[in-house]
Amino acid sequence: MKYFLIVGERSGDLHGSNLIKGILQHDPLAEIQCWGGELMEEAGAKLLHHYRDSAFMGFWEVVKNYGTIRRQMQECKKQILAFRPDVLILIDYAGFNLRMAAFAKAHQILTFYYISPKVWAWNQKRALKIKRVVDRMFCIFPFEVDFYRKFDYQVDYVGNPLLDAIASFQPQPSFKTERGLDDRPIIAILPGSRVQEVKRMLPKMLSVRQQFPKYQFVVAKVSNLSDDLYATDVPDVAFVTDASYDLLAVAHSALVTSGTATLETALFSVPEVVCYEAGGLTYMIAKQLVKVPFISLVNLIADKEVVKELIQEEFNAERIASELKLTLTGPSRQAMLNEYSRLQELIGQPGASERTGGLMVKALKN
């Protein structure tokens, strides 16, 4: 059977690659084309478009690049029709993918969605559009089942694919030595995987460096972004590229940009401070629309504050330093680690990618 997958960012590439492996376990002769990245290509898909050319973040960035986004949509539609897949599989990336779902529906192409758009966070009535244009939704958070039930839409809860990625991860025993790191405890800096995120987040994250001389600050870089983006005049800072899991495996604490990495950090049992700052217009719009009390996945899943979130004005050197200190030692650190254990129980067991692949192939065969 023929599958066409679309993702729009680095984490989607990871989850898409694992889903492809799951599909191939149940359909070894599958033909797969994708909009994604190197990981999906390595897993067995034909890569038609790289996500780095579509990673626009924030309201103003989307408006500024609307012409490019529109051309990319037209290109994607042509490729879908040329391939004529048995199913279009969409992974997160709501702004683009919901339009592709509507297009597929109009052309009588079956559509599955893996990793639901965060409609429970803002503009919840988009769930009605999803119900209309998506034939089957595969969710990765247990609370999403109850959310969609309010709209009389039955979805499949398959577990969280991050557990698969982490379960298959093999840490490098010589990681610290090979990367030139010393014996001081490590504070991991995860500034994000998009240009706008790194530009905005990294300088403030490193602004507290000199207040923690007994610790190493190690920044997780991604290879699809320019090295110039990480340039800094802050002394005694180390960098590692495409090695966030190896970094988290040896980290003592972390400063993390809000996103998937907040949950990954928790699943590695690394106490963290979640950071986020958007452009003024983007934040003003988001503040009016967002309907949930937290921005980090850790707190949303736990349904309470487990990790501290520093957002906009609170994301400053004084608050970063004070909250980071609380993660290094003492009762606050231990309380966070205790909550991480509960979080693991809420999420469940690995196997989401294989389960989802199996369910998708079975649905197509039926």
Task: Name the DSSP letter for residue 290.
Answer: B
Within this chain, domains 2-159+351-365 and 175-347 share the same CATH topology? yes
Q: With 60 as the cut, is the pLDDT of residue 242 above it? A: yes
**Cβ count within 10 A of residue 94:** 19
Name the phi and psi angles at 319, rounded to 5: -70, -40
Q: Is residue 145 a contact partner of residue 219, using CB atoms and an 8 Å limit?
A: no
Beta bridge partners of 237: 217
Q: With 60 as the cut, is the pLDDT of residue 267 above it? A: yes
Over residues 339-348, the mean pLDDT reads 90
- In the chain, what is the straight-line distance between the N-terminal and C-terminal CA atoms, in Å? 13
Pick the most confident of 8-12, 58-62, 188-192.
188-192
- Residue 294, pLDDT score: 84
**Cα(79)–Cα(64) distance, rounded to whole angstroms?**
25
* pLDDT-derived band at 59, boundaries 50, 70, 90: low
**Cα(9)–Cα(52) distance, rounded to whole angstroms?**
7
Q: Is residue 169 a contact partner of residue 163, using CB atoms and an 8 Å limit?
A: no
Total residue length of the chain: 366
Q: Is residue 137 a contact partner of residue 153, using CB atoms and an 8 Å limit?
A: yes
Q: What is the Cα 158 distance to its own chain's centre?
A: 17
Token pair belonging to 173: 């025993």
Q: With 70 as the cut, is the pLDDT of residue 181 above it? A: yes
* pLDDT-derived band at 260, boundaries 50, 70, 90: confident
**Cα(308)–Cα(324) distance, rounded to whole angstroms?**
9
What mean pLDDT is reported for the chain?
A: 91
Q: What is the Cα 87 distance to its own chain's centre?
A: 23
**Cα(256)–Cα(81) distance, rounded to whole angstroms?**
40
Q: Is residue 12 a contact partner of residue 89, using CB atoms and an 8 Å limit?
A: no
Over residues 157-183, the mean pLDDT reads 92
* pLDDT-derived band at 359, boundaries 50, 70, 90: very high
CA dihedral 137, 138, 140, 145 (to 10 degrees): 50
Name the phi and psi angles at 278, rounded to 5: -115, 170
Say which CATH topology domain 175-347 has.
Answer: Rossmann fold (3.40.50)
Q: Please give the CATH architecture assigned to the domain spanning 2-159+351-365.
A: 3-Layer(aba) Sandwich (3.40)
Residue spans of the domains in the chain: they are 2-159+351-365, 175-347
The stretches of 125-194 forming alpha helices (DSSP H) are: 126-133, 142-149, 162-167, 175-178
**Cα(162)–Cα(353) distance, rounded to whole angstroms?**
9
Q: With 70 as the cut, is the pLDDT of residue 118 above it? A: yes
Q: Which three-class secondary structure state does DSSP give residue 97?
A: helix
- Residue 220, pLDDT score: 98
